[in-house]
Amino acid sequence: MPSAVAGRAEMVIGGRYRVIRELATGGMGTVYEAENTRTRRRVAIKTIRPEVAQRVSVVQRFEREARAAGQLRHPNIIDVLDMGDDAEHQLLFIVEEFLVGGDLGQCLRAVGTLGPRAALATLLPIMDALVAAHAHGVVHRDLKPDNIFLHETPQGVIPKLIDFGIAKLSEPTLDGRRASLGSLVGSPIYMSPEQARADASIDARTDVWSMGVVFYEALTGRTPFEGASAFALFTQLAADQPVAIATIAPQLPADLAAVIQRAVTKDRAARWPTMAAFAEALRACEAWRDVDPAEAARSIMNAAGVSRAVESVRSPAAVADRTTVDMDDPGPTLSMDSDRHGSGLWTGELSPAAPPAAPRRARWAPVLAAGALVAAVITGVVVTRRDHGDPPALTPAAVAVNPPPPVAPAPPRSPPPAPAATATPDAGAPRAALVRRAPTRRIIRRPAAPAPPVTRGFNGAPIVD
């Protein structure tokens, strides 16, 4: 809980947004999770520190973000719900929809690169959002992975375009000049050459360039220009040509690489003329052709790099080669998600748990059962003959069919009673009687002992000694 909230029973911003907790804080201000006390809707509130709010440029950027995103209604653009000035806490604030998850930048830092299908499934919705923004005269001007939020919902991950703080609006400002005139704003790595020059004629094609760089990085792990400083990047933008994406990732489909390469063409006239044309060219690529968007959406990853797509790592041939299926069943399997071209990122997600394997019997169980059956037959013969009055002389012969293995006699615990020794003069008779009462009869009537339980590891795989 931030210092502004600590020590207070409750902090309410704007008279109706009750602060729940602090989400993030920085040099400009703080972002809170809050609840509308009237509608009970959970929201995110961005605030500016009082000392920072004295800077006119910061306040203009803050208001520009609210106006730019507030006039757009698109499922892949964050909703701006309200804006206000809290006199009690001396805060200027924006109220936005509450998003759960993290951004694409976190995802790429976690996993490195995306496969073509995952990249297209993630970024095509953002491109559609930009088409809608451009139609309303809003140019984002700060496209980068950190401004593409991977919102986690029960239905899956929904990419959301956020942070319109430096967006260029079509209407002039109060002083009659364009918002971008004579200003240099944006992230240098993703900035178009004309944006780096602070060109006043900047248009929607700067977003085409930036989106091309985002695709470039998502698929290769690199950007067309890389430098140790903003000055080095601007020098490359002015003098060099972007490195061909096909040379960095030759495994990418040629048509996909060509479409992205055109997006990062320094000459605006040779670049894709609109975001809609760029998106249409991507959808025509073989990596996306005949793809069901709803199914492809399962490959969109969250900030941790995990998607909802599930695919067994075991091939049918590998399963067929197994001699004992239930003994080698690894339980839940690690899902690998990539596109059909085999390039880019592999992501993992545990598949649904496999049904529990049937209890396994020991390999010597058949031998034990056969031995028990033979012993039962012998015992039955001996008992039958005894019941029909067979002479004692025949008993040793019946026992001799399968004599027990010799066992060294154990020393008696106490001397046997004297009457037992005198009651039976024939030494062979007690042995025959003992054989007739052998534990075999009790074993054959008792249910077979269950097999020992299967011990499995933390991932469900059986542990075999």
Active site residues: 142
Dihedral in degrees, nearest 10, Cα atoms 62, 65, 70, 71: 130
CA separation for the pair 16, 35 (Å, rounded): 8
> Residue 264's closest CA among 229, 216, 226?
216
Q: Which of 270-295 are b and which e, b meaning 16 or more Cβ less than 10 Å from the residue's Cβ? A: ebbebbbebbebbbebebbeebeeee
Residue with tokens 């040099």: 27
- The maximal CA–CA distance of the chain, rounded, in angstroms, is 131
39 CB-near residues (< 8 Å, 6+ apart): none
Alpha-carbon Rg for the chain, nearest whole angstrom, is 39
On the CB side of 437, CA atoms within 13 Å amount to 5
Give the Å distances, CA to CA, from 134 to 76, 159, 195. 14, 18, 17
Give the Å distances, CA to CA, from 374 to 367, 378, 450. 11, 6, 21
Which burial class, exposed, middle or buried, applies to 226 when counting CB atoms under 10 A from its CB (0-12, 13-18, 19+)?
Answer: exposed
Which residues on neighbouring strands pair with residue 96, listed in sequence order? 44, 80
CA separation for the pair 390, 380 (Å, rounded): 13
326 CB-near residues (< 8 Å, 6+ apart): 357, 358, 360
Q: What are phi and psi of 17, to 5 degrees?
A: -115, 100
CA separation for the pair 399, 322 (Å, rounded): 45
266 CB-near residues (< 8 Å, 6+ apart): 193, 237, 241, 242
Angle separating helix axes 116-135 and 275-283, nearest 10 degrees: 150
Helix spans in 225-291 (H): 230-239, 245-248, 254-263, 275-283
Quote the DSSP letter at residue 360.
Answer: P
Which residues on neighbouring strands pair with residue 269, listed in sequence order? none
